[in-house]
Amino acid sequence: MGYIISFSGSQGTGKSTSALRKNIDLNMCYPEKTIHLLQNLELKCPYEINQGASEYAQQWLFSNQMNQEMDNLAYFDIVVTDRTVVDVIAYTYALGFQSLAADMLACAQSHMYVYKKIYFKKIANNNFNFDNGIRDTDLKFRSDVEDSMLIQYEHLLTGIHFHGEIYYV
């Protein structure tokens, strides 16, 4: 089974671009490895996302992220993603669905082993947010999501399930 290198953070921090670049770099450095880019899964969500998201949307995003990661790990040596399941948990919490976020967090504990490296992109250092019709440009919402993510990572990274590395960039 392979492993995941992921970029994490609030909207508009350059996660998708960073994941694409990392995928290209890894393919050039390790031509003998099978490497796959997994990104923009939220674009397939049949429900409204961002501040208008429902619990259904958040459940779909969480389960789809985890499912796609596990599926791709069965076929590729390295999977590069533009988010982690923790991103979805943080949005769920910021949206006010604390009970659902707690359930997701419990499930994520046993999933964290798949991440070898997580690059957490902070808003202050990576402000690439622009209105593209999908992203939420509200800075307070984005900041609330980032704060929630940092809390969720602190909880998950102190557990026994994560053996990778996290970089705050």
What is the pLDDT, as a whole number, of residue 130? 65
> In the chain, how many domains are there?
1
Q: Give the CATH number of the domain where residue 73 resides.
A: 3.40.50.300
Q: pLDDT tens across 6-34, in order? A: 999 999 999 999 999 999 999 999 999 99
On whether the CB atoms of residues 19 and 82 are closer than 8 A, the answer is: yes
Its domain, for residue 34, covers 3-168
Q: pLDDT tens across 65-90, in order? A: 999 999 999 999 999 999 999 999 99
Distance CA 167, CA 119 (A): 5
What mean pLDDT do residues 113-129 have? 92
**The model's pTM:** 0.93
